[in-house]
Structure 1
Amino acid sequence: MIQNSFRHTLAIAEPIPYSLNKAHHLMIVSVFIAIQVVINTYLYCTVANGLGRDSWLVLAIIVFCLISLIAALLMERTNWLKSSLLVSKIGYNWMGVGFIFASVAFVFDSVQWFVPHIGDGTSLSGVVVIGGTISIWGLLAANRINIRHISLHSSKIRTRVTLTQISDLHLGDASTQSRLRKVVKTVNQLGPDLIVSTGDLFDGYLPLMRPYVELLKEMVAPLGKYAVSGNHEVYAGLEEALELTKESGFTVLRNGSVTMGDRIALAGIEDPTARRNEDRVAIAAQCFKDLSSDRYTIFLNHRPSIRPERFERFDLQLSGHTHGGQIFPFHILSKLAYKAKPGLTELAPQTFLYLSRGTGSWGPQLRVFAPPEITHFTINPATL
């Protein structure tokens, strides 16, 4: 066990006006709504082709779910959701379920181009069976607690260190206390020396987060708990979200670092959403400025950005953000955006990036070919 002595070198940056972040959030919401309208229109057309006049009930269900989603997206930062969480859950989950059904329908429509004798009724039956099966599977997969064990070695440390990473819990309108309770129990059973959260811990209407704060307090580690911000903390209200993070027992690293004993260091950088117009190279340099190269340095960065100029500054970068795509085939988009795949990647000799698929889910509580995870690292001396 490493000596539990700390030297904080935290650099706190002035937050940008939240109005800019709110405008950015509204732009994203508008795009999502437009996409969902297109997806749901296509889905209804598929149903109408198969059922004809009998499709009115399906139309009513689709319209209700779509309105629930639009309401949830537009009102998620307000007190409206305090008495309407059921509508929120229906809307968010429909975002995923509707996409799955529309995707399956698109596959059947594509097949019909080559096999015209497949009737609309057959296609509709296939869409219902396959889409329903995938949706149920995705709902069950999102609620499982998967543990990934990663073992690393370094000549920079003298005794074994264990660390548990959680990421992208998205505690808010669509999450549940029962699942967070399972996460806390699992982390405590792993018994790590150190716990880190790599962003998007809180998401939604922050005054409703108190029960989650109390549960997170129960998650403990002898060397402490550390966190960095993600983009969703910014959308929810950065300062308020980080205050809740601190109340949950985490030390927040805002472009700064902390040392533990004489061999281990943590550095953490704020998500760029909070500081859009500033030099990211200079901000990253601020994170590492007080750290010597003989320390084993763990870099907390919500986004899996790969910058070769940083490789000599850290030994292990822990990131999240992409959720591994969350629902197939969005993993393709995340790989195109960040050039990183989920799991462990060696960036340079003895320099690694670990990209978590996330511990929770954003929006729909579904996971398809992208299981959520809690990641437990064991960092051993090189002689072991």
Structure 2
Amino acid sequence: MPLWQIIPSLLTISFVVTTLLGFHQANALVRIVYRVSAIWMGVLSFTFFASVVCWFIYVPLTLLDLRADPRLIVVVVFGLAFFACVCGLVNAAWIRVTRITVKLPNLQEAWRGRSAALVTDLHLGNVRDHPFTRRVVARLQRLQPDVVFISGDMFDGTKADLDWLVAPWSKLSVPRGTYFVTGNHEEFTNRNKFLDAIGKTGIRVLNNEKVEVDGLQIVGVHDGEAGEPQTLRAVLQSTQLDDRRPSILVAHQPSNLAIAAEAGISLQLSGHTHGGQIWPWSWVAALVHGRFNYGLNRLGALQVFTSSGVGTWGMPMRLGTKAEIVLLRFEAAEEEER
């Protein structure tokens, strides 16, 4: 069998093997092979759909008895597919800032005009590591938000030097604190090791609890509990929310939203979906999560903002989505009625 036929198969198998090995071993070889094979998986995705497009072009032209050079079709379509791969790699590495204004009912004067940064889905591990964290923190320092919320998947869940991966966070100074809850990737194994590493940086871990900052109620629920409807309801009830003041729920996934709405939460901040990360999986994500796949949406009085995240999972590419830090500016809902 020619080498060009063997390499693609080896890379595909390598992605699966290094994904599994990554939970047990942390070394340069695993990281390098994982990164190369993860890029290959992105190439495989685009070239698979390119081959489908080639047939959709060639077959109708043949049935209509129109002359078509199959080689030209393949060169053009696969050329576009490889161009999309390059664009996807560049786009995933390009961190942008999404600015949005959120109007909250009964917002205290102290919070009017203040800003909060939402950072989610860094997926630190075999692809994104210490330098990536440093870039994210540097961007936050330039934005100077009043508070930072990290809604899970700080880590990819693989074995790594966790303290080194998150060390740059210790240099971030935010007036009203930085708050974290776990995502599903921190829940793959015992989450305590991840929480310990994050806690060493000075980030406040919200362990299914409420804190109050200048009158604003901030509730954080870990993904393991937020994914269970009865547990989430019990946690929110235990916080004894004051419905006369606004509240923010930090939870990784935009799920069980009816329970958050029932509890009187004003705003939920989530990630997880990546917006689908690359086309056409963005369509799949939209089917699964509906309108809560990305952006600011409502369920009754509850507002939900879902970020596409700043990192990537698996293939380090984005197409049709963006790597983002979200900067929310708070205003009082009453201002809209005047």
TM-score, structure 2 as length reference: 0.89
What's 2:252 paired with? 302
Instruction: Verify the 8 A CA contact 1:150 1:375 in the aligned structure 2.
Output: yes
Q: Deviations over 1:220-273 (max 9, x none)?
A: 211111111111111253121222222232222232211113x2011122214x
SS of match in other structure, 1:281: helix
The aligned runs of 1:184-199 (5 Å cut-off) are 184-199=137-152
Report the equivalent of 1:25.
none
In structure 1, the partner of 2:319 is: 368
Q: Shift in Å at residue 302 of structure 1?
A: 0.6
Within a 5 Å distance, the mapping from 1:322-333 to structure 2 comes to: 322-333=273-284
Offset at 1:176?
3.6
The alignment status of 1:270 with 2:222, answered yes or no, reads: yes
Once the 2 structures are TM-superposed, how far is the Cα of residue 84 of structure 1 from its aligned partner? 2.9
Q: Specify the alignment match of 2:229 in structure 1.
A: 280
Cα distance in structure 1, aligned partners of 2:136 and 2:161: 19
Shift of 1:355: 0.6
Q: What is the TM-score normalised by the length of structure 1?
A: 0.79
Q: Deviations over 1:280-332 (max 9, x none)?
A: 23433323532211221111111111533432521110010000000112122
Aligned CA-pair RMSD: 2.1
Q: Secondary structure at the match of 1:115?
A: helix
Question: 1:100: Cα distance to partner?
Answer: 1.0
SS in 1 for 2:190: helix
Q: Residue 88 of structure 1 aligns to a residue in which SS? A: helix
Q: Secondary structure at the match of 1:197?
A: strand
In 1, the alpha carbon distance for the partners of 2:51 and 2:76 equals: 8
Distance verdict in 2 for CA 1:128–1:56, change over 3 Å: farther
Matched, 1:128 2:81: no
Q: Name the residue aligned to 2:162.
A: 209
The correspondence of residues 1-384 of structure 1 with structure 2, limited to 5 A, is 56-79=2-25, 81-116=27-62, 117-154=67-104, 155-159=106-110, 160=112, 161-261=114-214, 263-272=215-224, 279-288=228-237, 289-312=239-262, 313-339=264-290, 340-349=292-301, 351-382=302-333
Equivalent-residue separation in structure 1 for 2:144 and 2:223 (angstroms): 28
Amino acid at match of 2:284: L
In structure 1, runs of 5+ residues without a counterpart are 1-54
SS at match of 2:35: helix
Aligned-residue sequence identity (percent) comes to 26
The CA deviation string for residues 93-124 of structure 1, in whole angstroms up to 9 with x for no partner, is 21112111111111112222212354442343
- Aligned equivalents of 2:133 and 2:69: distance in 1? 46
Amino acid paired to 1:281: Q
Q: Unpaired runs of 5+ in structure 2? A: none
Runs of 4+ residues deviating >6 angstroms: none
The residue type paired with residue 328 of structure 2 is F
Query: What letter is aligned with 1:129?
Result: G
In structure 2, the residue corresponding to 1:367 is in which secondary structure?
A: coil
Partner Cα separation in structure 1 for residue 12 and residue 172 of structure 2? 37
Is the partner of 1:285 in helix, strand or coil?
helix
**What amino acid maps onto 2:40 in structure 1?**
W
Query: Could you tell me which amino acid in structure 1 is paired with residue 293 of structure 2?
Result: K
Aligned length: 325
> CA 1:275 to 1:157, structure 2 compared with 1: closer, same or farther past 3 Å?
closer
Distance (whole Å) between structure 2 residues aligned to residue 345 and residue 355 of structure 1: 8
Matched residue SS, 1:79: coil
